[in-house]
Structure 1
């Protein structure tokens, strides 16, 4: 019988990967790239065509009248504090106390100068004292006039920096290099958002195309940077792009059908004053697409990883079996993700929900009203795209994983003469055992009935 050659790894080391399996997986990835490469080229073309020209937009020009050029935000220290009553008690509302503060500018133009600033009641209620630091806004004035100072905000740089460093440390300690690369990808996402998407929207670009192009660019870089270039990551990217496209299509239909104008809060009203030509309904759609980025990435990479882990555990399983097992994991993930989406919105909109509770409006009127209805539509559109991305990602992963195995399995060798003879002996032995089992208790075979 011909000998079969086997390559064994040194003791204590993992055996080298099967070159045929590796080649099969590479072929499977190439099949997916036939779809991804055109999408990537279209994304690059969209970035070039939609990239803002850098000139001031109408909204930016209008905003200059609200924010004079040269306005800065220095930190200053309270040198003295003189409280005074700025509102008397009315009914159940207590009296309000404001304060006049003399502050020392600590940085920038006018550092070391003493300035007088009026502090509103909500700032005094926080318990500010002499020696505390506050952020002021400095209006440089015009025609050689004196600069004017006013309270702007509390300084939060130190706690935010400390939390960011601690967050980075925790991510690096637990997720190691992959987690740190995910933070780098997050930085890239903010660059795309701040340098492309927001300026392009202010420049009058199509919200649906700006959001799709920007989101696709983010996903191409973030997924491969954090998870490496592999069939698993490529599977997740295809599922994510499917979810983004579905969010855009469903969002466009839902925004039009629900008559969402996008002008339901103070921020959008202020934008309307700056530039009334902006497409506010389109901004609702763009927000829907961008809001689904993180959760889509989470779900698709989890599903892709699950499918490939299942395939490695059972390499002989067919794509239907892989899909069935992967969807059993995906259903649990969908259930938990739905809770995440809904409660994340409820937490962010808690003050608004409290106001509605005080007004005692009917639940259905609140749910379908402008303020809540926009968020409900956005949540439902994102949820539909999220749920449908799970079976699509699972199916792609199952097909690719099994295609790699089927392409790399060599044809079964022809049995030798000795193997054929052994198979014939096994068949004869099995036939004898069946005859013995059919025999009666005395060892005699059962009597045949007379057909007559």
Structure 2
């Protein structure tokens, strides 16, 4: 076994393959058993009431008019665009007919123009159920999303070829595991932390081996990722307990607790840290395993310790940029929250130590610590596997015979070769010419 991102690497010794198989296969079987034990069998159905019927339509005409001033707002200010939109209904009982509906107003309401594809909802008058009307709920986003997904897939396959196709398969497998195991398991009341670790391990096995092949190098990345995931979970448990986080630090979590009171929001916070760390962890572990393999291929004389030190220097540079990536990713996802903080009148210390911001700080720190630990763990494993065939010692290169070395040194130390007008030697056999010697 062995692997390289650009060419087949030299196969690992049989003893190394046997050790890796004896290590990885039991871990995979344990993951499968854990998934079967935690698999959601009685996921509760969330009852949020009956949704209003939704149908598709196309905007054919928009007539705007001045909005009457609202009593609670100063004169001259308006709540938004006012007017009537004529829409051709495409689905539902009124398909083929044209209906008129008021333009949506208020914060976050969609802005519609002629030829826009929209989603319509039917609202029934509570006082008279026989009276109903259409209202614009949102834009249709199905086709734009499909086109974006196609561009995404074509770009990946065009650049990555078969590896890109395997990456798409791994992405599909990740979403399948999240949607069929992790989310239903947590909704069914299972402890979020073991569900997240098991789901992340399943994603890791499928994605890494599918994308990078069943090789010794991939097995090293799998072991490094799994060890780092477990360490991240332990660090997350300690950090959230130390900072007394409850998981109620966001409006989404509070809303979820209203619909599903049996969900452990503290465990859900830990699960989010683990799932969020997985994508960056497998990037680092695969890179470190590949770096050790490349260094050993480029210089077979490197000892195990030299391989570890050289690859760790690469890992330090990778971590330096990845830490910034993690923080910016969390900051981007929480940008509305950060903007809200700038308008907060409380002191800086009180804001930073509040749960909704402390939660993001702990999330970033724990993910970074797990990422840092992944570098020495994976690099050490890769150095052990790569040098296992030679026991970690150097293999001396063959030396030239003494006579050939003396002749080469004499040729190199002799007078310079006479050259012609184009700085080309006049020919072999001249004093100092090394062509015949070499």
Tell me, yes or no, whether TM beats 0.5.
yes
Q: Out of 206, 212, 218, which is 1:227 matched to?
A: 212
Aligned match of 1:131: 115
- 1:31 equivalent in alignment to 2:19: yes
Q: Out of 368, 391, 399, which is 1:383 matched to?
A: 368
CA change 1:91–1:44 in 2 (3 A) is same
Alpha-carbon distance, 1:148 to partner: 6.0
CA change 1:304–1:72 in 2 (3 A) is farther
Give the conservation status (yes or no) of the 8 Å contact 2:303–2:394: no
Tell me, in whole angstroms, the C-alpha distance in 2 between the residues paired with 1:147 and 1:52.
40
The two structures, once aligned, show a CA RMSD in angstroms of 3.2
Deviates more, 1:398-407 or 1:139-148: 139-148
Alpha-carbon distance, 1:125 to partner: 7.7
Between the two proteins, the alignment pairs up a number of residues equal to: 389
Give the conservation status (yes or no) of the 8 Å contact 2:301–2:394: no
Deviates more, 1:229-238 or 1:105-114: 105-114
CA change 1:403–1:138 in 2 (3 A) is farther
Aligned match of 2:313: 328
Deviates more, 1:26-35 or 1:379-388: 26-35
Deviates more, 1:134-143 or 1:361-370: 134-143
Aligned match of 1:372: 357
Query: SS of the residue aligned with 1:120?
Result: coil
Unaligned runs of at least 5 residues, structure 1: 1-15, 411-421, 426-452
CA change 1:86–1:79 in 2 (3 A) is farther
CA change 1:178–1:122 in 2 (3 A) is farther
- 1:285 equivalent in alignment to 2:245: no
CA change 1:56–1:34 in 2 (3 A) is closer
Q: Out of 74, 80, 84, which is 2:55 matched to?
A: 74
1:45-104 deviation line (CA, Å, top 9, x unaligned) = 111111111x451xx3432x2x44xx5543211244444526649469942234443422
Aligned match of 2:34: 46
Query: SS of the residue aligned with 2:120?
Result: strand
Give the conservation status (yes or no) of the 8 Å contact 1:100–1:118: yes
Tell me, in whole angstroms, the C-alpha distance in 2 between the residues paired with 1:271 and 1:93.
40
Tell me, in whole angstroms, the C-alpha distance in 1 between the residues paired with 2:143 and 2:155.
18
Give the conservation status (yes or no) of the 8 Å contact 1:23–1:408: no
Query: SS of the residue aligned with 1:62?
Result: coil
Aligned match of 1:317: 302
Alpha-carbon distance, 1:126 to partner: 6.0
- 1:343 equivalent in alignment to 2:335: no
Give the conservation status (yes or no) of the 8 Å contact 1:227–1:233: yes
Alpha-carbon distance, 1:256 to partner: 2.0
Deviates more, 1:79-88 or 1:294-303: 79-88
Tell me, in whole angstroms, the C-alpha distance in 2 between the residues paired with 1:139 and 1:37.
56
Query: SS of the residue aligned with 1:153?
Result: strand
Tell me, in whole angstroms, the C-alpha distance in 2 between the residues paired with 1:374 and 1:92.
43
Q: TM-score, normalised by structure 1?
A: 0.78
Q: Out of 160, 166, 182, which is 2:167 matched to?
A: 182
Alpha-carbon distance, 1:113 to partner: 3.8
Unaligned runs of at least 5 residues, structure 2: 1-7, 396-400, 404-438
Aligned match of 1:22: 11
Structure number with the bigger relative contact order (C-alpha 8 A, sep ≥ 6) is 1
Tell me, in whole angstroms, the C-alpha distance in 2 between the residues paired with 1:299 and 1:86.
59
Aligned match of 2:78: 95
Tell me, in whole angstroms, the C-alpha distance in 1 between the residues paired with 2:26 and 2:135.
53
Tell me, in whole angstroms, the C-alpha distance in 1 between the residues paired with 2:185 and 2:76.
46
Tell me, in whole angstroms, the C-alpha distance in 2 between the residues paired with 1:93 and 1:232.
69
CA change 1:56–1:82 in 2 (3 A) is farther
1:95-139 deviation line (CA, Å, top 9, x unaligned) = 223444342221355422444444432589865223322123457
Aligned match of 1:85: 67
1:257-295 deviation line (CA, Å, top 9, x unaligned) = 222222233322221111212111111011111001110
Deviates more, 1:30-39 or 1:234-243: 30-39
Aligned match of 1:105: 89
1:429-448 deviation line (CA, Å, top 9, x unaligned) = xxxxxxxxxxxxxxxxxxxx
Alpha-carbon distance, 1:384 to partner: 0.4
Alpha-carbon distance, 1:409 to partner: 10
Tell me, in whole angstroms, the C-alpha distance in 1 between the residues paired with 2:284 and 2:330.
18
Give the conservation status (yes or no) of the 8 Å contact 2:232–2:366: yes
Aligned match of 2:261: 276
Alpha-carbon distance, 1:305 to partner: 0.5
Give the conservation status (yes or no) of the 8 Å contact 1:62–1:275: no
Tell me, in whole angstroms, the C-alpha distance in 1 between the residues paired with 2:237 and 2:75.
47
Larger gyration radius, structure 1 or structure 2: 1
